[in-house]
Amino acid sequence: MDVELAPLVRAASLACGLLLGSAVLAQSTWHVRGSDAAVSIAGEVRVRLRGPRPSPVTLPAGHYDVHFGADAAGKPLSLSFAVPEQAAVAVAVSAANAVGARAIPLDSDGWTETRGGGGSKPSWVARCTGPAEASSYRVVATCSGGGASSVCGVAARWLDDKQHYRFVWDRGAGELRLERQFGPGVIVLARGPAPATDLDPHTLALQVDGFRLRATFDDAVVLQAFDGAFPRGSFGTWSAGDAVTWHDLAIEPPAAPRASSALVRDQSRASYHAATELAPGHFHVLELCLDRPHALVPRTRNGQELALLQRPAAPQVLLGDWRNSLGQSTVGQVMREGVIGSELYWPELRVFGQVVLVRALLVSPDGEAVVGATPAVPLAF
């Protein structure tokens, strides 16, 4: 019997080896460099990284969305791109300190609780705090639990139960809504699909800055609207139906959108992805550069250079692809919602490896001035 089973065991072992080998080949390696804010990578799996230089992570191949938390310089724009097998992914935003958030203890004094509904209408409860004259801010709250009938969210510019904005997650309807309560009626300013219901903690944020209203779900901007009905008011939480658990609430300054970059390297090619706050009509030019104009200089234990004693220089340009010669769409117009996409190619046969920084110069619509640049990401080829 053992002799008869031996070929089957060997075949099973070989099959397992092939499966494990293919699983290893399907992985991609991610490096993230940026600010003190969190970075959420969502695709076949979800990963949340924090810190300017988190450890690299290995993820399956597939399509991914990358969302960035707000920091002291603003909120980097989200990215979306495909990652092939065995790819190396570099994601970058400009360095910045942590956002100046003020945590509001949920069990502290100063909260005002308001209840409503009942009868034919669902019962709801709102808990608000903060000065009534507060105008521009970002209210951020994290909650978990609840049930199929749960509707939970955050309120901003709360004057009373008939005058306020709120951003809610309606689990029963499977949607996110940005609402304005005005008198007895509710006006839906914007709505969109909600993620699948689960019991994990999720973060909802509503930014009110002048007439601009912007709602984010787990750092992804999901709804936006312009409305000037309420110029100021306090902030807090709003919920109806099955109760949820509120974990924390914070108030932050408004976060202006800012640029982000990613480079997906696959053997002899790389795709560059960036998002900017610029409107369509601007131009982008892919640029390769070094982070110093000279070779590396040995340093002493205390970090001083042995002879030159000079600081590393700003990035030095090697090549700006003004002729669109490095690949595909390395020169072009900024697309809708500030998106930039380019392809880089290089010969497969090479003797020495090279490392450069890749970024995009941003040019005014008339082509006369460079108005900025995207964060640089490293490329080794």
What does the CA dihedral 342, 259, 360, 56 come to, rounded to 10 degrees?
Answer: -70
Residues 115 and 87 reside in one and the same domain: no
Confidence of residue 3 (pLDDT cuts 50, 70, 90): very low
How far is the C-alpha of 358 from the C-alpha of 261, rounded, in Å? 9
pTM: 0.84
pLDDT tops 50 at residue 20: no
How far is the C-alpha of 283 from the C-alpha of 89, rounded, in Å? 25
What's residue 299's pLDDT? 60
Domain count, the chain: 3
CATH number at residue 354: 2.60.40
Confirm whether 258 is domain-assigned: no
Domain end call among 252, 276, 300: 252
Confirm whether 8 is domain-assigned: no
> Which structural domain, as residue segments, surrounds residue 211?
102-252
What's residue 304's pLDDT? 57
Residues 138 and 225 reside in one and the same domain: yes
Confidence of residue 22 (pLDDT cuts 50, 70, 90): very low
Residues 218 and 150 reside in one and the same domain: yes
Which single residue is written with the structure tokens 């970024």?
359
CATH number at residue 128: 2.60.120.560
At position 206, the amino acid (one-letter code) is L
7, containing H or E segment: helix 2-25
Residues 112 and 224 reside in one and the same domain: yes
pLDDT tops 90 at residue 301: no
Confirm whether 108 is domain-assigned: yes
Confirm whether 6 is domain-assigned: no
What's residue 160's pLDDT? 95
Average pLDDT over residues 36-65: 93
At position 334, the amino acid (one-letter code) is V
Residues 120 and 217 reside in one and the same domain: yes
pLDDT tops 60 at residue 266: yes
In 3D, which of 148, 105, 99, 152 has the Cα closest to residue 125?
A: 152
Decide: 91 and 260 in contact? Cβ < 8 Å: yes
pLDDT tops 90 at residue 147: no
Q: With H, G, I as helix, E, B as strand and everything else as coil, classify residue 172.
A: coil
228 vs 8, 214, 294, 354, 366, CA distance in Å? 73, 13, 54, 53, 34
Confirm whether 353 is domain-assigned: yes
Confirm whether 370 is domain-assigned: yes
Which single residue is written with the structure tokens 């970002």?
138
pLDDT tops 60 at residue 119: yes
Confirm whether 236 is domain-assigned: yes
Residues 210 and 188 reside in one and the same domain: yes
- Chain centroid to CA 32: 12
Residues 108 and 86 reside in one and the same domain: no
Domain end call among 98, 131, 152: 98
Residues 352 and 274 reside in one and the same domain: yes
What's residue 365's pLDDT? 93
CB atoms < 10 A from the CB of 318, how many? Answer: 12
Q: In the structure encoding, which two tokens stand for residue 378, read together?
A: 């490293």
Residues 221 and 145 reside in one and the same domain: yes
Asked whether the CA dihedral 188, 190, 192, 197 is positive or negative, the reply is: negative
CATH number at residue 43: 2.60.40.1120
Domain end call among 252, 278, 296: 252
Residues 212 and 91 reside in one and the same domain: no
Residues 144 and 190 reside in one and the same domain: yes
Average pLDDT over residues 266-275: 92
Confidence of residue 289 (pLDDT cuts 50, 70, 90): confident
What's residue 144's pLDDT? 94
Confirm whether 5 is domain-assigned: no
Residues 107 and 229 reside in one and the same domain: yes
How far is the C-alpha of 42 from the C-alpha of 35, rounded, in Å? 19
